[in-house]
């Protein structure tokens, strides 16, 4: 089924797609025209907001994502369909047809693509997924308007896993998310990437940014993250529970490289001191020294300037004190 709304989501109408296929993706092409991608390579189209549908089998694989060109050349309005192993380009002239191209980056055993998007007002497109030839390697492909095909670019992480979602809200800023709480950001159209500090190991299945700074990521077990600053200070679950005690939580991730998140609980308001020490007991960083209200709080430690090894975080709140061990691995 496909649901549509004309009043911002206050009310929804459902539309039955023929043949009982499993719908996997959708794109709103024009006010009344909708494309829906389904399993087994079926594409459904409606030009009257779902009252009637046309169907075409354009691939042998599921249509995982439908996306469109969002570059500065407005006359170049082309649609694309992504399967686990190929990308299809709509060629409307002289007769509507979809041209399929295999993706070399996702042809090995255990490899498949997950999501794709073109940059808003830019000329680069991105496809994310996993390359499984030797291990589960998070993979990013990029194509600029001057390129003849999709080529793999460095992903900015050495972790095993898969990228599952991508959002490109402007010409140069791109976000990708995936398994194990992975969330990466690029501000130079994918030439380099940095990891956002997120306190979760849950798989992040999808990501959407309104602009360079404001966006959401959603994942398993009801996980929802929001940031209003592009992930500079991290994003977190809202926590409205009142802690029963003072406590320093174990940092995440741990081991880490180069950033980690440190959380703590306060049963009452208190002056908090959060400092980092090396194995010889020397103070090397002061993360916090100020008053905090009752509740759960967090901060991050960017340790890129420090050597690999074991460090200690000391948490003081009033007369309470606690220490946790942190491991930096480069």
pLDDT per residue over 134-173, tens digit each? 789 999 999 998 898 999 999 988 889 999 999 999 999 9
Distance CA 114, CA 182 (A): 14
Q: Are 260 and 302 in contact (CB under 8 A)?
A: no
Say how far apart CA 286 and CA 167 lie, in whole Å: 35
For tokens 């975080």, the residue is: 313
Backbone angles phi and psi of 18, in degrees to 5 = -60, 160
Instruction: Quote the mean pLDDT of the chain.
Output: 87
Who wins on pLDDT, 114 or 21?
114
pLDDT of residue 326: 94
Task: Count Cβ neighbours within 10 Å for each residue of 288-305 and write b for 16 or more, e otherwise.
Answer: beeeeeebbbbebbebee
Query: What confidence tens digit (pLDDT) does each residue in 223-282 have?
Result: 888 887 776 443 344 445 567 789 998 888 888 888 888 989 899 999 999 999 999 999
Ramachandran quadrant class, 281 (left: phi over 0; alpha: psi -120 to 50; beta: rest): left
The 3-class SS string of the chain reads: CEEECCCCCCCCEEECCHHHCCEEEEEECCCCCEEEEEHHHEEEEECCCCCCCEEEECCCCCCCEEEECCCCCCCCCCEEEECCCEEEEEECCCCCEEEEEECHHHCCCCCEEEEEEECCCCCEEEEEEEECCCCCEEEEEEEECCCCCCEEECCCCCCCCCEEEEECCCCCCEEEEEHHHCEEEECCCCCCCEECCCCCCCCEEEEEECCCCCEEEEEHHHCEEEECCCCCCCCCCCCCCCCCCCEECCCECCCECCEEEEEEEECCCEEEEEEEECCCCCEEEEEEEEEECCEEEEEEEECCCCCCEEEEEEEEECCEEEEEEEEECC
Tens-place pLDDT, residues 29-43: 877 889 999 998 999
pLDDT at 234: 39
- The pLDDT tens digits for 288-307 are 999 988 888 888 899 989 99
The residues, ordered by sequence, that sit 6+ positions from 51 with a Cβ below 8 Å of its Cβ are: 15
Which of 77-91, 103-117, 233-247 has the lowest average pLDDT? 233-247
Confidence label for 76 from pLDDT (cuts 50, 70 and 90):
low
For residues 15-31, give the mean pLDDT: 82
Full set of structural domains in the chain with CATH = 2-227 (2.130.10.10), 247-328 (2.60.40.10)
**Cα distance between residue 236 and residue 299, in whole Å:** 11
Which residue from 88, 111, 117 is spatially nearest to 101, judged by alpha carbons? 88
Looking at per-residue pLDDT, the higher value among 177 and 200 belongs to 177
The pLDDT, as a whole number, for residue 156 is: 86
């Amino acid at each position: 089924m496909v649901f549509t709304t004309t009043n911002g989501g206050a009310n929804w109408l459902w539309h039955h797609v023929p043949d009982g296929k499993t719908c996997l993706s959708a794109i709103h092409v024009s006010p009344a025209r909708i494309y829906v991608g389904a399993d087994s390579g079926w594409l459904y189209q409606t030009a009257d907001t779902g009252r009637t549908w046309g169907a075409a089998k354009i691939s042998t694989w599921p249509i995982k994502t439908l996306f469109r060109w969002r570059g500065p050349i407005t006359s170049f309005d082309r649609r694309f369909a992504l399967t686990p192993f190929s990308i299809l380009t709509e060629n409307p002239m002289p007769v509507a047809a979809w041209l399929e191209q295999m993706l070399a980056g996702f042809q090995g055993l255990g490899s498949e693509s997950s999501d794709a998007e073109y940059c808003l007002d830019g000329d680069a497109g991105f496809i994310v997924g996993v390359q499984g030839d030797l291990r589960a390697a998070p993979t990013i492909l990029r194509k600029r308007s001057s390129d003849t095909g999709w080529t793999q670019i460095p992903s900015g992480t050495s972790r095993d896993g898969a990228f599952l979602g991508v959002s490109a809200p402007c010409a140069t800023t791109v976000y990708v998310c995936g398994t194990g709480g992975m969330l990466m950001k690029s501000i130079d159209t994918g030439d380099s990437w940095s990891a956002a500090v997120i306190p979760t190991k849950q798989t992040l299945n999808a990501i959407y940014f309104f602009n360079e700074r404001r966006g959401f990521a959603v994942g398993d077990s009801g996980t929802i993250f929001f940031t209003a600053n592009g992930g500079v200070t991290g994003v977190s679950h809202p926590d409205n529970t009142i802690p029963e005690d003072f406590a320093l939580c174990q940092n995440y991730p741990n081991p880490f490289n180069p950033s980690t998140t440190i959380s703590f609980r306060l049963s009452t308001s208190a002056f908090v001191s959060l400092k980092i020490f090396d194995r010889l007991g020397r103070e090397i960083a002061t993360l916090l020294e100020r008053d905090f209200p009752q509740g759960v709080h967090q901060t991050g430690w960017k340790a890129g300037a420090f050597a690999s090894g074991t460090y200690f975080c000391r948490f003081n709140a009033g007369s309470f004190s606690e220490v946790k061990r942190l491991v930096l691995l480069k």
